[in-house]
């Protein structure tokens, strides 16, 4: 649902600012990068060439590399998920417009004080009136970080 709604806003951005606009999408999509909502509605892929050669507005999902590292932003049981993502438009990848950027770093921030267990599950804060309340927790998702450098 998040990706489907976001696809509407991507189209509006292109209508208002033009198809050459650089776009960085980020956030909790509540779906993994390979899920239909992200691949179909947002037209996201992990294949740079597909994004670069596309006539329509595809996005490059920079989070796929973390699957090889068995790293995620959310853990449910023993299932590691990458629900929090960065997607970049063709213009950011190509570095060919007047305000071009280059992707410098992309990280899932998993400092030791933020995680627990073998799967590096985020230490959840919960609610003060719940039995699993943890005043040292913060969220059930790990933060993500991206650094773009002006090219």
Average pLDDT over residues 6-12: 93
- Residues β-bridged to residue 107: 145
Share above pLDDT 90 across residues of the chain, in percent, rounded to a whole number: 66
Average pLDDT over residues 108-122: 92
CB-CB contact of 59 with 25 (8 Å): yes
Residue 149 has pLDDT above 70, yes or no: yes
Please give the pLDDT value at position 146: 97
**Buried/exposed 36-48: b ≥16 CB within 10 Å, e otherwise:** ebbbebbbbbbee
Average pLDDT over residues 39-48: 95
Please give the pLDDT value at position 127: 82
Can you tell me which residue has the tokens 């068995």? Answer: 70
**pLDDT averaged over the chain?**
91
14-18, 23-27, 45-49, 127-131: lowest mean pLDDT where? Answer: 127-131
Q: How far is CA 22 from CA 47, 71, 89, 98, 148, in A?
A: 18, 28, 6, 10, 12
Residue 132 has pLDDT above 90, yes or no: no
């Amino acid at each position: 649902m998040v990706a489907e709604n976001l696809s509407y806003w991507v189209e509006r951005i292109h209508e208002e600012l033009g198809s050459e606009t650089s776009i960085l999408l980020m956030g909790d999509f509540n779906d993994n990068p390979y899920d239909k909502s992200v691949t179909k509605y947002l037209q996201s892929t992990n294949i740079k060439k597909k994004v670069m050669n596309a006539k329509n507005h595809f996005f490059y999902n920079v989070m796929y590399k973390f699957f090889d590292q068995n790293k995620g932003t959310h853990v449910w049981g023993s299932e590691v998920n990458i629900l929090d993502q960065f997607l970049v438009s063709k213009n950011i990848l190509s570095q060919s417009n007047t305000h071009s950027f280059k992707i410098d770093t992309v990280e899932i921030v998993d400092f030791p004080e933020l995680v627990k267990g073998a799967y590096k599950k985020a230490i959840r804060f919960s609610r003060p009136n719940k039995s699993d309340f943890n005043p040292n927790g913060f969220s059930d998702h790990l933060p993500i970080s991206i650094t773009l450098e002006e090219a």
